[in-house]
Structure 1
């Protein structure tokens, strides 16, 4: 694919994270070796996973639009034994005519409703019977166009992994575009981290979520036909009843570089605060862009702060910059840790995770680890039952953590709208 550097890339930023990916959700001392935990684990690789078919490339390489094409054909959808075509009338009945009290959330794509289907026939079932599903109904003129819908159908129809949300079916009926997913009872990671009424996640749960999400990305990156997720963020990480993490919303997924290519040149799309700076500046997309986004989410898990918080001022608005300013001395790890943890986390594990996060969000993409290295480090974090610090006050030589700021209720720029000029990164040299 050609190089887009001669003309500044169009920036189509940047999705509102509020309610965007609610598929299935209800409304010790530090050693020198600790500072670079990746070195001892670089040789470890992800276990082999099922590889997606090469024909996915044909579809997820296409562009996107906010308008529905004049002619749609079922032939655009890759055949899959795991995904069934469903009628609009069945989904209408399954969601009780898309009743407002069954609304799970809303985003740029449209609305997500709770529904019930018969497990065997996938026909509409009475509430409380059959299987619970989440039905995403696309707005005909919404930010997510037909090509994103098609990308999601084809990606999740061919990609199967425990850490990817399961697509059960789809509906293509006139102007109606719907997707049917497995129901994820604990909703999005975003809600658990930032919703005021949510119960704080324990250290063990945060590590479990990070490992699950890393496995999902690792699977995508290590597939024979590499897939770059391109929209990794807290609202796109959904949790089942056991807090197992699954990646959702593959509308922006892109095929990775092939042959001797080092990157894919594309329009800049994603979510402000999570997108890698070199990608925003040049439109050059690589798997390391996903690694950067993962680092941002890992920082969110550690700090309880949003990637971008417009209620704050100066350097505190952007999580990465704020964290970098506080992690020059790893002995001051308490300065960034989420106070809702109550000090209940292993110091060594927190330092390792913070170091890993900083490696992931490095401004130099080449110095970022690969996702298989990230996963290996996360899986080697010290047992949460060891080295707990019950309170920073027990360590008088270590500063107390800063008081946690009020939860942010900002709304990011909707998907498909241009990124304001003052937010654009300078062009990479």
Structure 2
């Protein structure tokens, strides 16, 4: 299943280790050295993410999810939040989660079953909330403001300018882009799941807004450079 996820914005599987004595199981994934998106958004000691970097991260996540949803059968993440997104040396997004649905589960009872379509709609909602978190720099939940979605409601429905919800630590941002992304977020978190766009539609809208193609959102330096050097060295010997 993981071998199908050959995408530059996914933390790809490098290998699998299985030992009987002592009993051990291990999967080895590529390394993303700059920690999680959560840390850079919410931990003061972490390096600050500027406006363009945040858009690049959001686009990388979108391209990865689009790729996953278009596989046959589609691969749907089990979870998506800022703690499951890692950042490379040049701050490109690396989505990481291995708990996902591959195909619908049919229990025959009409309840307790799940389908790729319904899970895809859920992931679209989570992406909308993650995009809101990236732009606002606010926690998904805080004791002071409650759920982020509730806190942002007055900005999303137009009662207050959406630009006022943007992370105040950002030195600059584009207001026109903000307003366009606000509409994307509103579509993604629509209360009626069937009314939400697909990830392909979301990604297209965001690409039109940011003018960032897939190459612009992928890592510029391979995190596997050390392995490539080792292979070259071994071949030389």
Within the alignment, does 1:229 sit opposite 2:62 as a pair?
Answer: no
Q: Return the match for 1:209 from 57, 75, 99.
A: 57
Deviation at 1:183, TM superposition (A): 1.1
Secondary structure in 2 matching 1:207: helix
CA shift in 2, pair 1:219/1:382, >3 Å: closer
Within the alignment, does 1:295 sit opposite 2:128 as a pair?
Answer: yes
CA contact (8 A) 1:208 1:244 kept: yes
CA contact (8 A) 1:302 1:354 kept: no
Secondary structure in 2 matching 1:287: helix
Q: Which residue of 2 aligns with 1:354?
A: 182
Q: Which runs of 5+ in 2 are unaligned?
A: 213-237
CA shift in 2, pair 1:256/1:294, >3 Å: farther
CA offsets 1:16-52 (integer angstroms, 9 cap, x no match): xxxxxxxxxxxxxxxxxxxxxxxxxxxxxxxxxxxxx
| Cα distance in 2 for residues equivalent to 1:331 and 1:347 | 14
Q: Which residue of 2 aligns with 1:340?
A: 169
CA offsets 1:51-73 (integer angstroms, 9 cap, x no match): xxxxxxxxxxxxxxxxxxxxxxx
CA contact (8 A) 1:210 1:298 kept: yes
CA shift in 2, pair 1:164/1:382, >3 Å: closer
Q: Return the match for 2:14 from 150, 165, 168.
A: 168
Q: Which residue of 1 aligns with 2:30?
A: 182
Q: Which has the greater radius of gyration?
A: 1
CA contact (8 A) 2:152 2:165 kept: yes
Q: Which runs of 5+ in 1 are unaligned?
A: 1-154, 268-278, 385-429
| Cα distance in 2 for residues equivalent to 1:229 and 1:361 | 17
Moved over 4 A (4+): 263-267
Secondary structure in 1 matching 2:14: strand
Deviation at 1:331, TM superposition (A): 6.1
Deviation at 1:266, TM superposition (A): 4.3
RMSD of aligned alpha carbons: 2.5
Q: Whose helix fraction is larger, Structure 1's or Structure 2's? A: 2
Deviation at 1:245, TM superposition (A): 1.1
| Cα distance in 2 for residues equivalent to 1:382 and 1:216 | 16
CA shift in 2, pair 1:382/1:208, >3 Å: closer
* TM-score normalised according to structure 2 size: 0.79
CA contact (8 A) 2:55 2:210 kept: no
In the comparison of the two structures, how many residue pairs are matched?
A: 206
| Cα distance in 2 for residues equivalent to 1:330 and 1:218 | 32
CA offsets 1:112-166 (integer angstroms, 9 cap, x no match): xxxxxxxxxxxxxxxxxxxxxxxxxxxxxxxxxxxxxxxxxxx323321111112
